[in-house]
Amino acid sequence: MSASGSLDVVVNALTAALGEDLVLSGQAIERFCRDWHGDVTTGAVAVVRPRTTAEVSAAVRAIRTLGLTIVPQGGNTGLVLGCTPDDPTRQVVVSLERMTSVRRIDADDFSAVVEAGVILSDFKDRVEEAGLYFPLALGAQGSCRIGGNVSTNAGGINVLRYGMTRELVLGLEVVLPDGSIFDGLSTLRKDNRGVDLKQLFIGAEGTLGIITAVSVKLMPPAEKVATALVGLAALSDAIELYRRARRDCCDLMSAFEFMPPVAFTLAQEAIPDLAMPMSADYPAYVLMEISGSGLVDIDDLMQRFLEGVMEDGLVLDGVIAASRGQAKSLWLFREGMNEGQAKRGAHLRTDVSVPLSRLAAFVETAEAAVMAHLPDCTCVSYGHVGDGNVHLNVLPPGGLSAGEVQQRIYAAKSVINAVLDDFAGSISAEHGIGRLKKADFLSRLPAVQRQLLTAIKQAIDPDWIMNPGCQLNSDTDS
């Protein structure tokens, strides 16, 4: 029997076990086998799309029985190939896209229970209708799904105030590799009954089970938001500004993003009619946001904070948005900068973190090292100051061949990772490991950590059927 013939037999067996409505194969699965950037297209045996937790459990049992493996997938917006299959002869994608029920929003409990396939922005809208706020905010929020957000412990622009996804999760429902269902959808705020099992699945990228539903904390809405863009003499001044804002604005700061002057150029390449809010001559910029509800005068707080830091000469120039519309257009520089980078073609995207006290030194050292090795490239460093999280991207010049571009990207990554190791940083601040960063992850992983991770994987997924090749290699692979 040919390979595709034997594949047909397996697909037929899967369909017989689960029903035609649940199983896709052939052309219909293409969109599940392409990563978010469009860099990688591959294949899978089939895609299973369960509608309920019981159907996820049945799918896991059926796939296991057929000797196949499972790649769980949410909105397929991951940036590290964590949910992209890479073995068209053994892997079945289990897509959660049909599990889209918001099971409960309890405004009195400041909590919600939501299924894994709900799109983040849909959920945020539903929560807003209930008079509350779910703070997770990502560029991909119109496509990413809650289960994927939890599986990857997603970050985003509000981490500074509300923490990573982990800190928003109260409980989980997970289908385990043997098909059994871990029912932990509590909304209790405090529950100290021993080892907290749900923590294992957050950030596991589907290697230990399939998250089918999540209970989360909700917050009071930020009724008032003050947004400002300021210019500074150096990145180190931006760090100093953060320290001061952290004290002066208490816990009311919801974003603090630094950007280089080239942000304006890039944003205008993407959005040509974007009006400059201020001179582009300062060496560093910060976009900051303070927000709150109720009785605190947020506008007054921003005004007085900026007056103080300008009087002290820490901030050289600044604009405060006078309306929601103006605030949006300030954020357009941040978003347009990303689009502008994409327009320049293939480039290195990094997502690293270092201790906050070493952020400015890291960026200076790493950019200097890149420039020394690759003088024709452009560095674009920006990110979330309060989290020590930098996206230090490197753009090759125009006019190179695809091979030359890849060479530059590879060289830049090596240079940056070497500097990062000196600064005790992380090669993945928010994007995860997946398949894309696995080699860089494993080569830095201490033996004790590796033994622990392997022991836990072996304990929960002894046949290594969950998302094989993601994060870890099985002993036979490594």
- Least distance to its own copies, CB of residue 195, Å: 5
d(CA 73, CA 83): 5
In the range 7-66, which residues lie near its own copies by CB under 8 A? none
376 binds its own copies (CB under 8 A): no
74 binds its own copies (CB under 8 A): no
In the range 125-154, which residues lie near its own copies by CB under 8 A? 152-153
Which residue in 63, 94, 164, 348 binds its own copies (CB under 8 A)?
164
Which residue in 5, 38, 194, 398 binds its own copies (CB under 8 A)?
194
Q: Tell me the one-letter amino acid at 454.
A: T
Give the DSSP letter of residue 383: E
Which residue in 14, 33, 202, 235 binds its own copies (CB under 8 A)?
202
Give yes or no for a contact between 341 and 378, defined as CB atoms under 8 angstroms apart. no
Indicate the residue among 278 and 314 with the shorter CB distance to its own copies: 314
Q: How many residues bind its own copies (CB under 8 A)?
A: 94
433 binds its own copies (CB under 8 A): yes
| Pairing status of strand 181-184 against strand 253-259 | unpaired
Match 């229970």 to its residue by tokens: 113
Indicate the residue among 266 and 360 with the shorter CB distance to its own copies: 360
247 binds its own copies (CB under 8 A): yes
d(CA 22, CA 95): 10
157 binds its own copies (CB under 8 A): no
Handedness of CA 117, 122, 124, 129 (dihedral sign): negative
234 binds its own copies (CB under 8 A): no
> Binding marks (x or -) toward its own copies, 308..347, rule CB under 8 A?
x---------------------------------------
The residues pairing with 395 across neighbouring beta strands, listed in sequence order, are 378
Which residue in 197, 234, 322, 439 binds its own copies (CB under 8 A)?
197
In the range 92-111, which residues lie near its own copies by CB under 8 A? 106, 108-111
384 binds its own copies (CB under 8 A): yes
Which residue in 4, 38, 129, 193 binds its own copies (CB under 8 A)?
193
Which residue in 460, 464, 466, 469 binds its own copies (CB under 8 A)?
460
Where does this chain touch its own copies (CB under 8 A) — which range of 95-103, 316-324, 370-378, 447-455? Answer: 447-455
296 binds its own copies (CB under 8 A): yes
171 binds its own copies (CB under 8 A): no
Match 């996206």 to its residue by tokens: 391
Give yes or no for a contact between 197 and 101, defined as CB atoms under 8 angstroms apart. no
In the range 385-414, which residues lie near its own copies by CB under 8 A? 386-389
Cβ-count burial 339-351 (b if 16+ within 10 Å, e if not)? ebbeebebbbbbb
Which residue in 21, 39, 125, 196 binds its own copies (CB under 8 A)?
196
Give CB contacts under 8 A, 24+ apart, made by 27-35: 29/93, 31/76, 32/73, 32/76, 32/85, 32/93, 32/95, 33/84, 33/85, 33/93, 34/76, 34/84, 35/76, 35/78, 35/81, 35/84
Indicate the residue among 37 and 166 with the shorter CB distance to its own copies: 166
Give yes or no for a contact between 115 and 146, defined as CB atoms under 8 angstroms apart. yes
- Tell me how far CA of residue 388 lies from CA of 14, 134, 333, 345, in angstroms: 46, 23, 21, 27
Indicate the residue among 247 and 324 with the shorter CB distance to its own copies: 247
Q: What residues contact 368, with CB distance under 8 A and at least 6 apart?
A: none
Supply φ then ψ for residue 380, to 5 degrees.
Answer: -125, 105
In the chain, what's the furthest Cα-to-Cα distance?
A: 79
163 binds its own copies (CB under 8 A): yes
Where does this chain touch its own copies (CB under 8 A) — which range of 14-22, 238-246, 263-271, 281-289? Answer: 238-246
